Amino acid sequence: MAQSLPEPTVAALARGLAAGRYSAVELTRACLARVEAAQPQLNAFITITAEAALAAAAAADAARAAGRAGPLTGVPIAHKDIFCTSDVRTTCGSKMLANFVSPYDATIVSKLAAAGTVNLGKLNMDEFAMGSSNETSHFGPVRNPWDTARVPGGSSGGSAAAVAARIAPAATATDTGGSIRQPAALCGVTGIKPTYGRVSRYGMIAFASSLDQAGLITVSAEDAALLLGAMAGFDPRDSTSVDSPVPDYAAALDAPLAGLRIGLVREFFEKGLDAECEARIREAIAVYEKLGARVQEVSCPNLPLSVPTYYVVAPAECSSNLARFDGVRFGHRCESPRNLTDLYSRSRGEGFGAEVKRRIMTGTYVLSAGYYDAYYLKAQRVRQLISADFARAFESVDLLLGPTSPTTAFEIGAKVDDPITMYLNDIYTIGANLAGLPGMSIPVGFAGGLPVGLQLIGPHFSEARMLNAAHRYQLETDWHLRAPAAFA
């Protein structure tokens, strides 16, 4: 593996850059060398933008020399390939968009660029963010740096693998049903899915619009706080973006946890959770108790319905969102179509992979006349019940803690032919999306040599409190600083 980065975290790299210990160009070169060296093993990137990255790094160095540097100037990051970029293709992990170059940048791409970060390239992902293992990507699976025979989780598998292997200090990601938190857990890194509406979705290719949210995968909660501050905020171009001030997340990190009321959702511990993973979760909760938090059990009786509810709502929205990829306005077009119907059906048939087709068909079915009430409307009602369960829990606790994923990373190929088993991977994460709540996953140790993640779920707009709770845990432990030996 190429030489390691001078420091493991964004916070430390930002200090190193400010102190002049290295330039942004030197740091970007070091990252790019690691990106290239790891690519054959991990396949974390779909597109590497070395030249543009070096130009952005040179601009960052010039800004610093001119006294115009901000806290993130010159920090290298990478974007999930679901965020539109005007200088390089955005594939969304699909053959459908293999050559698509957007006419504009996603809001978070321009915000992070304006903050001075340097984009290393576009990260691999499940096709249209549908998956839990990064095996549905048209560009091939991503491998878990802790064991390259295993999946990194999904759909933000490239983001999680890149940060875990310390080839990009931080990465953007998206979470519709767990796609930030679950890969963060499986790769031993920190992931945050903010409150629905906290971060703009403009320029983020839509999967299920009422659930999709942009967030981050980082080494530490402190890094997530620094980057979220630059990413979050109202965007007039996204009608679901919320117009409320962005708190200073970094300033809130150190607050003491004494008196913090933590809830353990009983239903999360009832069945299906691997025993060794549960042991790590309980140990992490004990650390919180030592820090002065008070732990109590709460019940969210409708939460076990979150997977079936999600697999009605998400496919319904996806079937509508993905209608635009028709070979005319967007996307892959088949060779010599015979007529319009042939053009549509062959372009879509060739452009989409099996999982995306399964979702479109399910979604079309649940929205069709006669089935709408039985499935879609019913799912929306259950969604309300799940939200109400969370609201009730947050009357007596400040944060919910529990597992992120039922098991550690599984082997590549182990679940691809069994969609239901694959879907059950998100049993603990989907609830937060259905209710629009913020969630995080932080590394809390290992089971059988593979990372285990603790999930934190908070009330709407409680990111500052959640990051604070994650940071205090990370001051007590060093799980988040462990990196896989092969990539050290």
Q: Is 179 a catalytic residue?
A: yes
Q: Is 193 a catalytic residue?
A: no
- Of 309, 313, 305, 274, nearest to 404 by C-alpha is 274
- Is the Cβ of residue 160 or residue 314 nearer to ligand GLN in the bound state? 314
- Is the Cβ of residue 326 or residue 426 nearer to ligand GLN in the bound state? 426
* Structural contact between residues 448 and 486, judged by C-beta atoms closer than 8 angstroms: no
Site for ligand GLN in 108-137 (CB under 6 A): 129-132
Rounded to an integer, what distance in angstroms lies between the CA atom of residue 58 and that of residue 64?
10
Half-sphere exposure of residue 174, counting CA atoms within 13 Å on the CB side? Answer: 35
Q: Is 155 a catalytic residue?
A: yes
Give phi and psi for 428, each to the nearest 5.
-95, -15
Which one among 8, 178, 458, 459 touches ligand GLN, defined by CB under 6 A?
A: 178
Is residue 426 near ligand GLN by the rule CB under 6 A?
Answer: yes
Q: Which range, of 35-43, 140-148, 177-185, 232-240, touches ligand GLN by CB under 6 A?
A: 177-185
Q: Please give the DSSP secondary-structure letter assigned to residue 118.
A: E
- Of 311, 318, 306, nearest to 432 by C-alpha is 306
Q: Minimum distance from CB of 132 to ligand GLN (Å)? A: 4
Burial of 175 (0-12, 13-18, 19+ CB in 10 A): buried
Is residue 194 near ligand GLN by the rule CB under 6 A?
Answer: no
Site for ligand GLN in 278-317 (CB under 6 A): 314
Distant-in-sequence, close-in-space partners of 77: CB < 8 Å, separation ≥ 6? 10, 112, 117, 118, 119, 120, 168, 169, 170, 171, 172, 227
Site for ligand GLN in 36-65 (CB under 6 A): none
Q: Minimum distance from CB of 131 to ligand GLN (Å)? A: 5
Is residue 435 near ligand GLN by the rule CB under 6 A?
Answer: no
- Is the Cβ of residue 9 or residue 124 nearer to ligand GLN in the bound state? 124
Which of 102, 179, 220, 306 is catalytic? The answer is 179
What tokens does 69 get? 């540097």
Using CB under 6 A as the binding criterion, the count of chain residues that bind ligand GLN stands at 13
Rounded to an integer, what distance in angstroms lies between the CA atom of residue 382 and that of residue 395?
20
Rounded to an integer, what distance in angstroms lies between the CA atom of residue 456 and that of residue 265?
11
Which of 80, 111, 122, 193 is catalytic? The answer is 80
Q: Minimum distance from CB of 191 to ligand GLN (Å)? A: 11
Which residues are marked as active site?
A: 80, 155, 179
- Under the rule (CB under 6 A), what is the footprint of ligand GLN? 129-132, 155, 175-179, 207, 314, 426
